[in-house]
Amino acid sequence: MGDTFLNSCDPILTMNDAEMPIVTPLLPVKGLRHDISGNLTKDSINTIMDGVKSLGIQIDSESTKTALLQEAKNVLCKLNSQYEFLLNNMFSSIARSETDSIDKETIDKLRRKNQNMQDILSVSRHVLTTVIDKPKEGFQPFVSDPLKAYKEAFQEMDETVSANANALATRNFQETRARAVEVTEDKNRYASTLISIYSFLNVATIGVLLYVINGNLPEPPTASKYYR
């Protein structure tokens, strides 16, 4: 993946943590509408932002805007880590032959997590494009975009979410499943080879020991034999 903001996310280590709902005012309540692409509709985003305002949070300053974007980034990190844990757990189950097919319940969980990420991205775009009225001042020197890091992070997540959605829609996990099985078979073959080698070495070692005990080894040379 390279050096991206996702690399700094805390990993999810248990199934309970992976399934735990993430509490944030940026995630919509059930029933909000989505468009054909799966993004929140404008009225749904307005409903979420009304909820944010009810908490006393107004996007009327750069600091507030940045705080909301940081919250969105943190939530995306957690959701993505949960998604990856669930996905890896599913592949591990398949590799261990605990299931003969892709589990529908797990797919539903993955779909919900991915939809949550897409919802956060919809709200993030709204926050990014919200214009803040600033008092006009004199000449202002050019400064770099203070929100550049957030824009890049959200763009990365947008690509990830789109790829996830495509895989979930097409159930295109065959290649990954085949690879998981292949890796498992390689491990089994490697383990069998090691067992055979260790068995041979054990037999050879026992043979040498018996040979020594029975006194069948030639007598080692002494100095007197060569220097008389």
Taking the C-alpha atoms of residue 16 and residue 85, their distance in angstroms, rounded to an integer, is 11
Query: Does residue 200 register a pLDDT over 60?
Result: no
% of the chain at pLDDT higher than 90:
39
Q: What is the pLDDT of residue 167?
A: 84
Note whether 39 and 10 are same-domain residues.
Answer: yes
* The dihedral formed by the CA atoms of 98, 174, 109 and 111, expressed in degrees to the nearest 10: 180
Q: Where do we find the tokens 């005012």?
A: 25
Name the DSSP letter for residue 6: G
The tens digit of pLDDT for each residue in 29-62 reads 888 999 999 999 999 999 999 999 999 998 888 8
Query: Would you say residue 215 has pLDDT above 80?
Result: no
177 domain residue, yes or no:
no
Contact 125, 150 (CB under 8 A): no
Q: 70 lies in a domain?
A: yes
Residue 105 lies in a domain: yes
Does 124 reside within a domain? yes
Same domain, 56 and 159: yes
* Residues 6 or more apart in contact with residue 24 via CB below 8 angstroms: 71, 75
pLDDT in tens, 145-198: 778 889 988 998 999 898 888 888 887 755 444 443 454 455 455 455 556 665
Whether residues 165 and 220 share a domain: the answer is no
pTM over cut 0.75: no
User: In sequence order, which ranges of the chain are alpha helices (DSSP H)?
Assistant: 15-19, 42-54, 62-95, 104-129, 148-170, 174-213, 223-226
Q: Are 26 and 120 in contact (CB under 8 A)?
A: yes
pLDDT, residue 94, reads 73
- Give dist(CA 213, CA 135) in Å, integer: 97
Residues 191, 117 share a domain? no
Q: Detail the DSSP E strand segments found in the chain.
A: none
12 occurs within a structural domain: yes
CA atoms within 13 A on the CB side of 137: 6
Question: pLDDT band for position 92 (50/70/90)?
Answer: confident
Return d(Cα 88, Cα 18) in angstroms, integer. Answer: 11
Cα distance between residue 163 and residue 78, in whole Å? 18
Q: Within this chain, do residues 66 and 126 fall inside the same structural domain, yes or no?
A: yes
Residues 65 and 165 in one domain: yes
Residues 107 and 161 in one domain: yes
In the block, residue with structure tokens 């799966």: 38
Q: Where are the alpha helices (DSSP H) in 55-147?
A: 62-95, 104-129
In a domain, 160, yes or no: yes
Q: Please give the distance of CA 228 from its chain centroid, rounded to a whole number.
A: 78
Residue 81 falls within a domain, yes or no?
A: yes
Task: Find tokens 């605990």 and name the residue.
Answer: 98
Confidence (pLDDT) at 179: 40
Q: Are residues 161 and 194 in the same domain?
A: no
**Domain shared by 36 and 95, yes or no:** yes
Boundaries of domain holding 191: 186-226
User: In the chain, how many domains are there?
Assistant: 2
**Tokens representing 69?**
């974007």
Regarding whether 163 and 95 lie in a shared domain, the answer is yes
